[in-house]
């Protein structure tokens, strides 16, 4: 396929505000792609070259992209910079200054060139390679190439939409589950598309876990109290809920790979865990656990802030000596060719106990089998007294449900009076210029939303205007302006129109006093029934770098929190 054809599809995708239309367009695009190229088409549509767990980044700023644009088009840098100020998008600048016809490069060729740019070490090399590539492209092609390079493609295509389009390739939307299953096992939509194109439905149905490809993590639902935990799970396992980094650790022969909850590659950040897992007696293995810093002398956990310090690029070795982390292993997903995700939890745990024997850096999570609410309460009280945030409950007979949140795992957390039991993660979908003192900043309130997986849309839940410092507001405006849109994003459902729409990209955590019903918001709104909103929301911390928009709380979770809150009030 010619890259110009892909760019035409991108143009159409960018303009559409309907998700259905988007999946239809993607279906047409994927049908046209060659079997050998479909993975590349999928990655590029997501603005990537490889799945994010491979950790390949372009490392090029807008500034460098503009330098390359200037040289490739023979336009003065000052003119380019002025245009960028006006248009706010290097892609649009490229379209403006590159007037020639392209040389008709194929998708594979452009992909290859982009790959060389990402792999090049020095900035100068990167710029040179980009200049050469831009010289062979038309304006429209260049528009998307530079957007991909600066990490801001702005098509608004989410994973769920790609999965839907791949299901259409198999026949109809009912095949979504097959596609999703394969995706949950490898987190690589390019590989899923390639398997589908080359081996068809059967290939996807036979898709298997491979160490080195992270499994999308299982998540927990919340319960209000010990009684609900027992009512939902019956006789079950309860574990301490550790407050650290959730890690999925893969061992493949002598290699170890570590992935975060968000499936980012983290291997180099945890040298002591890497070493310890390499010693486990297994050729191939995937385990999950929570890593945190433990005070060797007292055996107590350090606060999360100390564990958090490990998230850095430099001086990791020094930190690993000062605050070594322990991995509290709680699940086994794969062992020497055998898929453990389909086995009952209790069997996975037993096998895990046989593997984690050298109790030093690797420990087993603290677990107890219980059958009464009283036992749960005792364990919970004890965990809270030890400064932990709560406990987890796990169904003994449940498989590991990759990529989904359900009642196979539940969490029971400590609550506060007059405050919601938990904070809520919301996605920023737009902002208002602000009044009074904020007016001079040009930003004063955010419009935020929660995720609705069934429609793959973001539904508004609250305006958030407090919790940030002035510097944070300034920074927020900067990063939001980089992703601002001319119209409401196709995946945002809103009755409110903010001054500026943005791509749903950034997640913030907010605390609130209460969830209330409101006709203004679309979260949970059905027919004439009002939606749900947050009362007195305030941001806690800045933008979450560890969460993607789809990791925000869901509409369903908000409904459940609303019900829990009512129940607690009545009690």
Question: Rounded CA gap, 250 and 266, in Å?
Answer: 11
DSSP 301: B
CB of 328 to ligand AMP, least distance (A): 7
CB of 377 to ligand AMP, least distance (A): 18
Are the C-beta atoms of residues 336 and 210 closer than 8 Å to each other? no
Question: Rounded CA gap, 544 and 564, in Å?
Answer: 26
How many residues bind ligand AMP (CB under 6 A)? The answer is: 13
List beta partners, residue 458.
Answer: 451, 492
CA-to-CA dists, residue 380 to 384, 385, 386, 388, 412, angstroms:
6, 9, 10, 9, 8
Sign of CA dihedral 520, 526, 528, 530: negative
- CB nearer to ligand AMP: give 263 or 447: 263
Question: Rounded CA gap, 392 and 410, in Å?
Answer: 6
Question: Rounded CA gap, 35 and 256, in Å?
Answer: 31
2 binds ligand AMP (CB under 6 A): no
509 binds ligand AMP (CB under 6 A): no
**241 catalytic per annotation:** yes
Are the C-beta atoms of residues 252 and 212 closer than 8 Å to each other? yes
Residue from the set 53, 58, 111, 330 that interacts with ligand AMP by CB under 6 A: 330
242 binds ligand AMP (CB under 6 A): yes
Query: Of the listed pieces 145-153, 238-246, 453-461, 502-510, which binds ligand AMP according to CB under 6 A?
Result: 238-246
345 binds ligand AMP (CB under 6 A): no
Residue from the set 39, 180, 188, 239 that interacts with ligand AMP by CB under 6 A: 239
403-442 residues near ligand AMP, rule: CB under 6 A: 411
CB of 245 to ligand AMP, least distance (A): 7
Query: Of the listed pieces 148-156, 234-242, 353-361, 550-558, which binds ligand AMP according to CB under 6 A?
Result: 234-242
554 binds ligand AMP (CB under 6 A): no
Q: Which tokens belong to 32?
A: 């046209």
- By three-state DSSP, how is residue 89 classified? coil
The single residue of 40, 126, 143, 241 carrying the catalytic annotation is 241
- CB nearer to ligand AMP: give 240 or 325: 240
- Which x/- pattern over 277-306 shows residues binding ligand AMP (rule: CB under 6 A)? -------------x----------------
CB of 234 to ligand AMP, least distance (A): 18
CA-to-CA dists, residue 37 to 29, 108, 159, 194, 444, angstroms:
11, 7, 18, 8, 45
Of 207, 155, 217, the C-alpha closest to 177 is: 207
Q: Tally Cβ neighbours within 10 Å of residue 52.
A: 17
346 binds ligand AMP (CB under 6 A): no
Residues annotated catalytic, as ranges: 241
Task: By CB under 6 A, name the binding residues for ligand AMP.
Answer: 219-220, 239-242, 246, 261, 290, 330, 365, 392, 411
């Amino acid at each position: 396929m010619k890259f110009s054809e892909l760019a035409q599809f991108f143009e159409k995708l960018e303009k559409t505000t309907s998700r259905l239309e988007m999946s239809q367009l993607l279906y047409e695009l994927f049908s046209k792609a060659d079997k050998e190229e479909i993975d590349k088409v999928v990655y590029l549509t997501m603005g990537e070259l490889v799945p994010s767990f491979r950790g390949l980044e372009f490392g090029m700023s807008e500034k460098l992209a503009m330098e390359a644009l200037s040289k490739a088009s023979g336009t003065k840098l000052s003119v380019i910079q002025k245009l960028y100020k006006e248009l706010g998008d290097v892609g649009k600048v490229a379209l403006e200054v590159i007037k020639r016809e392209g040389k008709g490069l194929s998708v594979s060729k452009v992909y290859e060139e982009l790959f060389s740019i990402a792999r090049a070490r020095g900035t100068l090399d990167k710029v040179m390679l980009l200049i050469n590539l831009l010289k062979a492209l038309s304006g429209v092609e260049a528009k998307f190439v530079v957007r991909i390079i600066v990490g801001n493609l702005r098509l608004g295509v989410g994973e769920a939409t790609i999965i839907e389009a791949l299901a259409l390739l198999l026949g109809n939307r009912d095949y979504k589950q097959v596609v999703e299953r394969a995706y949950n096992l490898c987190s690589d939509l390019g590989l899923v598309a390639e398997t589908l194109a080359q081996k068809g439905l059967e290939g996807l149905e036979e898709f298997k876990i491979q160490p080195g490809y992270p499994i999308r993590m299982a998540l927990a639902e919340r319960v209000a109290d010990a009684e609900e935990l027992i009512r939902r799970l019956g006789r079950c396992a309860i574990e301490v809920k550790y407050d650290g980094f959730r890690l999925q650790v893969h061992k493949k022969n002598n290699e170890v790979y570590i992935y975060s909850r968000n499936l980012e590659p983290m291997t180099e950040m945890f040298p002591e865990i890497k070493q310890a897992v390499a010693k486990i007696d297994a050729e191939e293995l995937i385990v999950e656990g929570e890593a945190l810093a433990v005070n060797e002398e007292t055996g107590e956990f350090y606060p999360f802030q100390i564990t958090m310090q490990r998230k850095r690029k430099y001086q990791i070795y020094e930190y690993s000596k000062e605050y070594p982390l322990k991995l509290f292993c709680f699940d086994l997903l794969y062992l020497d060719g055998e898929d453990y995700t389909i086995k009952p939890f209790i069997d996975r745990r037993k096998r895990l106990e046989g593997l984690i024997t050298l109790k030093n850096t690797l420990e087993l999570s603290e677990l107890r089998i219980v059958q009464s609410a009283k036992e749960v309460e005792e364990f919970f009280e004890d965990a809270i007294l030890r400064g932990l945030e709560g406990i987890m409950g796990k169904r003994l007979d449940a498989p590991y449900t990759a990529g989904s949140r359900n009642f196979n795992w539940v969490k029971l957390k400590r609550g506060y009076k007059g405050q919601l039991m938990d904070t809520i993660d919301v996605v920023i979908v737009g902002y208002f210029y602000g009044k009074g003192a904020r007016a001079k900043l040009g930003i004063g309130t955010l419009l935020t939303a929660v995720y609705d997986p069934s429609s793959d849309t973001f539904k508004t839940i609250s305006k958030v205007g407090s919790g940030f410092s002035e510097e944070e507001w300034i920074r927020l405006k900067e990063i939001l302006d980089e992703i601002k849109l001319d119209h409401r994003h196709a995946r945002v459902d809103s009755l409110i129109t903010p001054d500026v729409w943005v791509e749903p990209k950034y997640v913030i955590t907010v605390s609130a006093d209460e969830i209330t019903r409101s006709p203004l918001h679309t979260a949970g709104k059905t027919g004439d029934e009002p939606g749900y909103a947050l009362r007195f929301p305030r941001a806690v911390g800045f933008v979450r770098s560890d969460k993607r928009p789809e990791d925000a709380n869901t509409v369903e979770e908000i409904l459940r929190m609303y019900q829990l809150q009512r129940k607690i009030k009545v009690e």
